[in-house]
Amino acid sequence: MGGLGGPHIGIGGALVLIVLSLIFHRNFFAIFTGTPVEPARVMRPETRGDQDREIQFVSFVLDDVQHTWDSLLPQQARRPYRHAKLVVFRDYIESGCGEAQSATGPFYCPSDEKVYIDLGFYQELSRRFGAPGEFAEAYVIAHEIGHHVQKLLGIEAAVHRAQMRDPSAQNHLSVGLELQADCLAGVWGHSTEQRSIIDQADVQDGLRAAAAVGDDRIQKMQQGKVSPESFTHGSSAQRVAAFRSGLEAGNLSACLSSQ
């Protein structure tokens, strides 16, 4: 996936660039991408090959998502887009939003405008939650950038203030924020369809990923029962519907009006 105005390549092309970068010890992605990447820690030598491939893929996808918003946000919201940074980690990380462990999963920190990706989460997404595929991984990144878009639009701050005023509504407001980020991820997905980067099989991967991380499914797996009053991200059905809404509309307004 390449940025708007530059060469566009699909996931297969991304994998080719990863292999070339590793063989020739040169960053072939620099031709297409410019996302700053901050590895949080140095891995053992025997794990560096897999880590490098994962970092390249995550960085490449995130760069495409951000280039999409470079164009869409000024066009559709009359706001400039400011790039977030990427931090990859395993096991533990300190962020501008506090400490996080692998159980936290990927997250966006509005304080430092960084997306934190625990590389081990993708293994969990595939093995534990049954959502394999590159586009499933890409959906997660696009969702976190959706939170960055929310910050740039002032939505994140407004929701935070509302939560402070009414703590009893905290979970409900959080669900709305998360579903909107899913919708924004779908807007990027729409752009990849328009550029013929993904096909329907990829779309299904994304929908499976959205369903896999629904609160009801996670609660059922962890505690054997579902407690809707404690939802913070939305049910599987809600997350799929939100992602599909953005995917079909391809427009920021669909996400703003639906929440």
- State which residues form the domain around 30: 11-258
Is 206 contained in some domain? Answer: yes
Q: Is 109:40 a contact under the CB 8 Å cutoff?
A: no
Residue 2 is assigned to a structural domain of this protein: no
- Sequence-ordered list of residues with C-beta below 8 angstroms from that of 93, at least 6 positions apart, any chain: 40, 87, 99, 100, 116, 118
Q: Which residue has the tokens 């696009």?
A: 142
Does residue 1 sit within a domain? no
| Residue 52 φ then ψ, to 5° | -60, -40
Domain annotation covers residue 165: yes
Residue tagged 């980067």 (tokens): 197
- 242 has pLDDT over 60: yes
User: Model confidence over 123-165: pLDDT tens digits?
Assistant: 666 565 554 457 777 888 999 999 999 999 999 999 999 999 9
- In a domain, residue 4? The reply is no
Residue type, 139: Y
Q: Is residue 170 part of a domain?
A: yes
Task: Give the predicted TM-score (pTM) of the model.
Answer: 0.76
Pairing of strands 107-109, 92-95: unpaired
pLDDT the model gives residue 117: 85
Sheet holding 114-118, edge to edge: 37-39, 85-89, 114-118, 107-109
- On whether residue 120 sits in a domain, the answer given is yes
C-alpha distances in angstroms, 221 versus 5, 89, 168, 188? 44, 25, 26, 30
pLDDT value at residue 72: 95
Q: Is residue 3 part of a domain?
A: no
Q: How many domains does the chain have?
A: 1
How many other C-beta atoms lie within 10 A of the C-beta of residue 115? 25
Q: Specify whether the CB–CB gap between 115 and 85 falls below 8 A.
A: yes
pLDDT digits (tens, 9 = 90+) for 185-213: 999 999 988 888 777 777 777 777 777 76
